[in-house]
Structure 1
Amino acid sequence: MILSLLEKFPKQFTPREIQKDLISQIEQELKSGYKKIILCAPTGVGKSLVGATIASYFDSSFTVTASKHLQDQYVKDIPFLKSVKGKQNFPCLKLMSSENVDNSRRAMRWGLTCDKGQCQERISKNGKEIIEVCKFKPTIKQVENKAQDSSSCTYYLQKYDALVAKHSLWNYHAFFQIMKFNKKLFEDYLDRKVSIFDEAHKIEDQIIQFVGFDIFSGQIDECNLNSEKYDFSDLDSMIKLTDDIAYSYAKKIKDIKESPVFQNEPDYELITRLERRYDKAAQAKIDIADNKDNFVVNDPIRDISGNFRTISVKPIDVSKFAKTFFETEYQIFMSATIDKNSFCENMGLAKDDVAFVDAPKSPFQIENRRIDLLNIRRLSYGSTEEDEIEVIKTIDRILDEHSSERGLILTSSIPRCQKILRFLSPKNTRRIRICHSNNKDGKTQDEIISEHASDPTGVLLSSSLWEGVDLKDDLSRFQIIAKVPYPNYKEKRTKAKMDKFPLWYTSKTLTKLLQGFGRSIRSEDDWAKTYVLDTAVNNVFFKAQQMIPKAYYDVLGMENL
């Protein structure tokens, strides 16, 4: 008989006092009858070990996280979790066979990965069109019974191994994909007691990837449609465009199949690709038309000549779709930065049914994570050129003070990054590397950070590194928050979301800001100083007083609240 939750703490680790305290609080909430619990605890607490304790206690679980880095950390620390990674991480045995490559590492270097191969394809056999499954793909029953072939596809082996195991580890995209589209296919393997959602503040952004529709100029051209015939400010017109795109793909598929060329040399790869595009457009049209009041058309993005490039139709309220993913009896939502009221409102959870456990303090010493609110100028949509320049002058002075150290500058947009770079002094300009998820020279974020690591005085400048990156130790000894990261209220979805969910805008801003504070302090022995230049931060903290996690009270001077 299990006497306490703490007994299930991973045996290879010794729980620290703060972990014992959090586990005790969670256990108390479970005994009180709560089946949904939010855990708010800062970086360094060891939330993953707390999550693993809960998973082990319930004997069957899903653990879901957003970042590959955190997934790797889970795999390293908690071996009983069977991890699922994406197809791009595995060599395609079918492509290796066709290209006569017998070395998996070489296949990976050459890009012969599972996401490039076809797990099933249409072929012509005896004058009939049939679906042929890749000979390397095992069935889940074979994996369950340990009867798979020794040369089976490693991607499906790890995926099916996770599904048949008691405890599995997923990224949000792979987990949501199964729960939304393949639930019936795998229904015998989805009966778990608890789901543990790490980085839970990102759930809304993950759900949005599965709902709504992004329309690109290339699609419109491929479908032989005239973009000028549609009103990009009108939802009904966008529904019509989405329907026309689906119809066009359906007609293309029919015409290609009936063509003499296809009869002689069928291109099933092309047909499969078109069918995927048809399915996506057709499903989007159904979702949007079914609840038009819940969708908004963002302003189209155009090139410098005014030509249409892309437009998105996105949901305002994701709670209807969230229920699809929250199906286990128990659910634990973990994050360093999460507000109960706003989260419940967005996810459609009844606040009285959700317990909230807030870590009382940070495990890091306050002197290692000082935050200096400099209050230089307020940078808002009404700020002047003088305000901008004064902030950049301050950045220059801080860089001079930290001339022998690496650091990070965070701001709100790519144009602001470019402006900072343009007005910095020449000596500090030479230290800067602009780093985004997509970079002009084609370099990845990881490649730029790797270059940064080899430059003893390098400074990263970014509007996208607010979270998901660990600049530990001397990778960054100072960080500058140049501009408070408000969501863009000029975007129509943001405005509609603000109107419907008043807490959301403040919560979203606070979450991103606090995530930014944590980029450069990653362990108990780590240290970095944070400078905030935008005076608008005071307004955020004032409006968000009840949302700020207790672990930040000391460093923000809020101990008496």
Structure 2
Amino acid sequence: MFNEDDVIQVYRSLLSNLGYTPRFTQEDAIKRVTQALNDYDDVILESPTGSGKSVIAMVFAKYISDTLEGNSFLLTPRKELQDQYSESFSDNVFVFKGAANYPCHLGISSGIPDADCGPTAQCAKGGFGGRNYGCCIGTPLAEVDFPLGPVPLNTQDLDSEKVYCNYLYNRHLALQSEILVMNFALFLSHVNYTGIFHKRSLLVLDEAHRCEEWLVSFAGVKLNEDRLKRLVPDLDIQSLSQYIEAVADDDPLGSAFMKDWLGSELLKIRKIAEIMEKTGGRPSDIHYLLSDVIPGLSLMNSSLDHTKWVGDRVEIISKGFKNKIVSYNFSPVFVDKFAKYMLLNKAPKRLFMSATILDSRAFSKSLGIEEHAFVRIASEFPAENRPFIISNTIGSLAYPKRTDEKMAKVTKEICDIVEHHSDCKGIIHTQSYKATNIISNALKENSTTRDRVITHLSGARRLNMFKEYTEREDNPVFITPSFTEGVDLKFDLARFQIMVFVPYASISDKRVKVRIGLGGWPWYNWLTALSIMQTYGRIVRDVEDTGVTYALDERFTDFISRHNSLFPDWFTEAVEYYE
């Protein structure tokens, strides 16, 4: 199916058009993946930061379209990565996003301010209640004759006869595209529930180490107590607490109870949704039942016999609201039984790419993949440019040992490191807002570091403060519990970083706790190694780049030693110890 010479020709032609020259390591990786795709349906590529995974993805997608006359899905977890593909390969890919990313013409054509493009849009573009409109003046989608050019955004350019829905027009183009870039959540929604997108020849998944996480999130269901009681007054939602307690107590009768509950209550929800569709209920409520509640509960109902689910009752008191918001949240412990029909069968060939697969057997098992090829690429970055220095001066920072005296030692060491790197930017990974606050206060009390501190004590301020960090030129230090993935701190954006604690997943998380109880310690250790490697990869993003990672928790030494097989050689060769 894949001819190596032809694939390499596509690679060299693509690089020539981009103004790049071929790289031996990249070309070797492409040859190995080519052979693997001929032998296996599932190929897992572990390729370090800076090795050009996006180019590799594009080579095989272009080969599929140019040589085999097929088409491809290219999935990323984040919109930012979609934009990177669009900027780098604008002539080859089409990027499709969710409705909220497209300006709505309704406001322009009718004078309605801030027209919403979503389930509550007045054009009812979502098709609720049979109103499947393709444009703002109400032309049914089946009769829409889409123009060839881009949809006009200016009032003077609008055709008074046909004002096309920007979102639907882009979806129309996405359906015709040969290489379609989408984020994972949007892809799962469309290929599983709307029936709009169909199978393609190749499925490429970037940052694939998060596949299980994406599937858990997609399969999970959140039930808003007040909203459901308003829409379905006789719904017995409070009884869900019994199932949550049964799972916590490892009571085998919990699943039987949940199946009985779903058998009666899911029927009530479906009947209400049907009535609302026929009588013209509020679109946002219909969307909530049809797109969020019913699919999630239906999946749970069909899988309880072979998959364990965990639940939680969450109470949130929001500012400005007198009453608390109560939500019942459920998620599957495993997704291997879902992955085949939700993800894997959307293309006959699948290429999973990440800098941090680490254990291909654990990865493939989590997705129910029976046979696969694993291709691991070594880093081209010199080890001396990216040292991982473990400090053994503080000792273990396991939670019970985080005394005030121990944390004083931690903050003293951090102040020393920040002072040592007075001429460059850096980032400190804390894992919790409590630790963030302690470390921030310590640095602010130090006369030589106080003016360099940038931090956030809530998720709402996270992106704004990070933007300030990137724009400031006085060598600030960014202190955060939540930037271990998805940020590219190359060159002067960060010359050092500090990992305060070993990033173990919290065993207070019910899903993690249940998974461990079912023999999941190897999985838990794999998750920890993934987090270490992802954090390590935030800095030193180019072969000419340099940066130092400091690990303060003595447990890093023990973890890396005991689980050495999880880490690639190019990482362990960079590990150093500081007494």
TM range (shorter): 0.7 to 0.9
1:456-508 deviation line (CA, Å, top 9, x unaligned): 23222222100011222222221000011111112221022232444311111
Structure 1 residues 140 and 6, CA, compared in 2 at 3 Å: closer, same or farther? farther
In structure 2, the CA distance between the partners of 1:248 and 1:18, relative to structure 1 (3 Å rule), is same
Letter in 2 for 1:66: P
1:97 partner amino acid: S
1:61-105: CA deviations, max 9, x gaps? 11111122221111122221111122222101123323357xxxx
> Are 2:17 and 1:28 equivalent residues in the alignment?
no
C-alpha deviation, 1:377, in angstroms: 2.3
RMSD: 3.5
2:510 aligned partner:
492
Q: Which amino acid aligns with 1:195?
A: L
Match of 2:68 in 1: none
Are the counterparts in 1 of residues 119 and 284 from structure 2 also a CA contact under 8 Å? no
Q: In the alignment, what sits opposite 2:331?
A: 314
- The corresponding residue for 2:121 is 117
Q: Quick one: structure 1 residues 120 and 366, their matched pair in 2 at CA, closer, same or farther if it must change by over 3 Å?
A: same
Is it true that 1:341 corresponds to 2:361 in the alignment? yes
2:298 maps to which of 280, 286, 311? 286
Distance in 2 of aligned mates of 1:240 and 1:430: 60
3-state SS of 2:549 partner: strand
2: CA distance, partners of 1:82 / 1:68? 13
Equivalent residue for 1:62, pick from 68, 73, 76 = 73
Is 1:41–2:72 an aligned residue pair? no
Q: Is 1:202–2:197 an aligned residue pair?
A: no
| Alignment match, 2:308 | 295
2:75 and 2:181 in contact (8 A); partners too: yes
The TM-score, its normalising length taken from structure 1, stands at: 0.83
Normalising by structure 2, report the TM-score: 0.81
Question: Which range is displaced more, 57-66 or 299-308?
Answer: 299-308
CA contact (8 A) 1:122 1:130 kept: no
- Alignment of 1:480 onto 2:507: no
Deviation, 1:295, is 2.9
1:32-431 alignment to 2 at 5 Å? 33-59=39-65, 60-78=71-89, 79-99=91-111, 113=117, 117-120=121-124, 131=131, 133-136=133-136, 139=141, 146=148, 151-183=163-195, 185-187=196-198, 190=199, 192-216=200-224, 218-219=226-227, 222=230, 230-231=241-242, 232-234=244-246, 236=254, 268=280, 270-274=282-286, 276-277=288-289, 280-292=292-304, 294-302=307-315, 309-324=326-341, 325-327=343-345, 328-338=347-357, 339-350=359-370, 353-360=371-378, 362-375=379-392, 376-385=394-403, 386-427=405-446, 428-431=449-452
**Post-superposition CA distance 1:337-376 (Å, at most 9, x none):** 00201101101111xx21111112x222323212111133
Retained in 2: the 8 A contact 1:249–1:278? Answer: no
Structure 1: 5+ residue runs without aligned partners? 102-109, 124-128, 259-265
Aligned residues: 526
What pairs with 1:521-536 in structure 2 (closer than 5 Å)?
A: 521-536=540-555
Which of the numbers 504, 510, 514 marks the counterpart of 2:529? 510
Q: CA deviation at 1:148?
A: 9.8
Aligned-pair identity in percent equals 26
Distance 1:69 1:132 in 2: 30
Q: Which residue of 1 aligns with 2:25?
A: 18
| Partner SS, residue 177 of structure 1 | helix
- Deviations for 1:294-332, whole angstroms, at most 9, x for unmatched residues? 233344444699977444211111012111211211111
Paired with 1:415 and 1:226, the residues of 2 have a C-alpha distance of: 38
User: Does residue 486 of structure 2 align to residue 468 of structure 1?
Assistant: yes
Q: Distance in 2 between matches of 1:196 and 1:44?
A: 18
Counterparts of 2:82 and 2:391 in 1: how far apart (Å)?
36
Structure-1 separation of matches of 2:317 and 2:109: 46
In structure 1, the residue matched to 2:454 is 433
Task: Mark the CA change 1:226 to 1:332 in structure 2 (over 3 Å): closer, same or farther.
Answer: closer
| Distance in 2, Cα, partners of 1:381 & 1:541 | 19
Q: Which residue of 2 aligns with 1:126?
A: none
Shift in Å at residue 256 of structure 1?
A: 7.6
Letter in 2 for 1:394: E
Opposite residue 380 of structure 1, the aligned amino acid is A
Alignment check: 8 A CA contact 1:88 1:115 kept: no
